[in-house]
């Protein structure tokens, strides 16, 4: 594997873009390259620049913001009814993965780009929200807390 020497200043900038205990310098550089290619390049193979600035218009999104801002994603409460509905339609219980898939099918029109984005863990945000909805429904007594692991079941 090739080695690259970086100035301390550039290394510090890479660290600012990294998620602690998750990213390596290589993963941060990979994200920068992916963003570079996603934004397109000019015919000369260099990044597009803002008019007259000479500064690249490449937009880097830091991964330090894990939470969506209020109003950006579908509220968890909107997942309760579809989750209970898919469990009822299945006779009262389903595997967690199957329940999540069916909720996704029911809510496909409601889900936005933020819901469909990936969390730092790699999981798709709306799927994670369905899991949290299940937990809240268990706490409210609508779903059985003591069902078999990986099986979601309506409370009796």
How many helices (DSSP H) and strands (DSSP E) are in the chain? 6, 2
Domains of the chain: 8-64 (no CATH), 77-153 (1.10.10)
Task: Give the up-direction half-sphere exposure of residue 4: CA atoms within 13 A in the CB hemisphere.
Answer: 8
Q: Are 90 and 100 in contact (CB under 8 A)?
A: no
Give the tens place of pLDDT for each residue, 34-86: 777 776 654 444 444 434 433 333 333 333 446 777 788 999 999 999 999 99
**Using CA atoms, how far apart are residues 87 and 156, in angstroms rounded to an integer?**
12
- What pLDDT shows up at residue 142? 93
Region 103-116: mean pLDDT is 92
Region 83-105: mean pLDDT is 95
| Stated pTM of the model | 0.58
Q: Three-state DSSP class for 78?
A: helix
**Using CA atoms, how far apart are residues 104 and 109, in angstroms rounded to an integer?**
9
Q: Are 143 and 111 in contact (CB under 8 A)?
A: no
């Amino acid at each position: 594997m090739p080695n690259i020497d970086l100035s301390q200043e550039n290394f510090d900038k890479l660290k600012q873009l990294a998620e602690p205990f998750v990213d390596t310098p290589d993963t941060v550089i990979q994200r920068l390259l992916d963003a570079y290619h996603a934004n397109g390049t000019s015919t000369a193979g260099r990044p597009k620049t803002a008019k007259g600035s000479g500064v690249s218009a490449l937009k880097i999104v830091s991964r330090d913001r894990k939470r969506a801002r209020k109003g950006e994603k579908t509220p968890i409460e909107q997942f309760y009814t579809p989750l209970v509905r898919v469990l009822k339609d299945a006779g009262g219980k389903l595997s967690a993965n199957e329940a999540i898939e069916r909720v996704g099918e029911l809510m496909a029109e409601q889900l936005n780009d933020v819901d469909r984005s990936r969390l730092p863990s790699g999981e798709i945000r709306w799927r994670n929200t369905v899991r949290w909805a299940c937990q809240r429904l268990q706490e409210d007594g609508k779903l059985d807390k003591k069902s078999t692991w990986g099986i979601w079941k309506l409370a009796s």
